[in-house]
Structure 1
Amino acid sequence: MNLLPVRAERTGLSLEDGTHLGGASLRTGFVFAVLGVRPEDLFAPGEGSLPAAATFPVTVELAARAGRETLVHGRVGAFPFLARLTGPVDVPAVGPLTLGARRESLHLFDAATGARL
């Protein structure tokens, strides 16, 4: 699971460097939390896809096609990030790529205790 330390604000979730991820519909009483999302729950937003509850600006470091899947290794801000995308996806070998996740695929954890929120 990808784990990102986030700050919960009225406008949504953001990384400590200010990178906005969205997720405004996520409700939490905690200002600081850890956002978790599984690699297989990510998708490349595009025509015909449902809107993403959160978006992840990934800097791709390596993309490898493996049959029907594309594995994307990169970073969101300073944090390592992995995506496993299915179907035909246009992914750069290196460089920027925006990925999305639906609300039900986002998991928040207490930053101090690790308990699920």
Structure 2
Amino acid sequence: MPKLSNYCYGTDDPTSEMTCIPTSQVLVSPGYTALEYISKGHLTTKSNAYTFGVVLLELLFGTIIDIRLGSQYSHDAAYKVVKLALKCLDLDPKSRPRMSDVVVALEQFQGHEPM
């Protein structure tokens, strides 16, 4: 089960791709932590996207994409959400989407009917 308590903290500064904030008091689990935090100790708005991507993949492969469900979910929507999650996990933080873009993308997938 995903642990949302490990969600990273970043600020949304529209003038900067990489808004760094001090993180001396942030406790994280390595599996949920963006690589820029592990290597440099900085969290950014793109760190949030990385952490959300991990949680999103856990949700997809732990519950939604389950062989016991057969085809009771939209395969097209699941494929699009997997692609979005993988974008969130890009090793280059500048290539990751902002969380606001992730929300917009997820809203577009809402309402897909099962196959």
TM-score in same-fold range (> 0.5): no
Under TM normalisation by the shorter chain, which class is it? under 0.3
Return the structure number with greater helix share: 2
Task: Calculate the TM-score normalised by the size of structure 2.
Answer: 0.27
Whose Rg is larger?
2
